[in-house]
Amino acid sequence: MAKPKAAPPFDLERSLVALVEAIRARGFLKTAELKKFMVPPERQGEVLERLAAEGFEPMASGVRVPLRLQLETLLQQRGVLAWPPGKLLKGGSPKEYKALVLDLARAGELHLLVRGRAEAVAGREAAVLDREEMQTLRPLALAVQKALKARPLPRTLLRADLREVLLDLLQPGEAPEPALVERLVRECAGRLEADRPLCFVPDLVLECLQDHSLARIHAALFQAVRQGRLELRPESGVHRLSGLELALCPPGLQGTRLSWARPLEPRP
């Protein structure tokens, strides 16, 4: 009768390579799963020590990628995460996940967001409103609440009033030069073509850049919008903007760039 083949000797270094790859991919590996990687019970303690030296966190039930690293990686990959992010993090408890996010938010390492009816989490580099800008929106929020609760009939808001509040938030600062506003409106109207009722904003900005700073030109464009003389539109995606063209366009909401202008005044 043939003797059963003896199991090959345990290769610690080879197993570590496979384990590191698995933990990074999953975020968490249970101790019981070490058997699948051919780790003998008597060597599990040694393996866990080596994994800890690699930067992983040994736990009673297994080993995980540090929770903060998991969270930072997810934010880098996705930008915004649902709150609480418990379904995305691995190897801990919902209470631990929540405490981590709140600690990082207090330290300014990430942002807690309100997105419609939901809450969310974004990384430190996300383009968010600061506290002063949020306070700027407070009167608008109160006005909306008052309008909706008005009796016997609810009230509404003028679109022009709403637009002015948002424009002030996007482009605060000193009042632009009236002459520059006039020049931009005139140049925009003069650049229209019969088959295209829009003016490409980078061309418009370049026309004035020799005489004015980019910040002043952008402020004048927003002033023209406030006055109801121009409409600024974001890039549709058809026209691929170069780095220079993006820099010349004024910023819009949610990280967009306003690359097209339309005159609102009747042609002479």
Least trusted range by pLDDT, from 3-12, 81-90, 220-229: 3-12
Q: What is the mean pLDDT of the chain?
A: 83
Concatenated DSSP letters for 83-151?
A: SS-TTT--SS-HHHHHHHHHHHHHTTSEEEEEETTEEEEEETTS----HHHHHHHHHHHHHHHHHHH-S
pLDDT digits 0-9 by tens, 16-59: 888 888 888 888 988 888 888 888 888 888 888 888 888 898 88
Q: What are phi and psi of 83, to 5 degrees?
A: -115, 135
At residue 174, the pLDDT reads 56
Nearest by Cα to 251 from 228, 217, 227: 217
For residue 103, pLDDT beyond 90: yes
Cβ pair 98, 121 in contact under 8 A: no
Nearest by Cα to 70 from 49, 97, 51: 97
Q: What is the pTM of this model?
A: 0.56
Cβ pair 251, 245 in contact under 8 A: no
Hey, what amino acid is at 85?
P
At residue 247, the pLDDT reads 86
Q: What token pair was written down for 179? A: 């002459």
Which H helix or E strand runs over 189?
Answer: helix 178-190
Instruction: Give the Cα-Cα-Cα angle 237, 241, 244 (nearest 5 degrees).
Output: 155
pLDDT category of residue 132 using cuts at 50, 70 and 90: confident
Share of the chain above pLDDT 90, in %: 13
Looking at CATH, the fold of the domain delimited by 67-123 is given as: Arc Repressor Mutant, subunit A (1.10.10)
Strands 80-82 and 62-64: unpaired
The dihedral sign for the CA sequence 135, 249, 181, 217 = positive
Cβ pair 51, 24 in contact under 8 A: no
Domain boundaries, the chain: 12-64, 67-123, 129-170, 174-263
At residue 37, the pLDDT reads 80
pLDDT category of residue 244 using cuts at 50, 70 and 90: confident
pLDDT digits 0-9 by tens, 72-96: 989 988 888 888 887 889 988 889 9
Q: What is the edge-to-edge ordering of all strands in the sheet holding 258-263?
A: 199-200, 258-263, 230-234
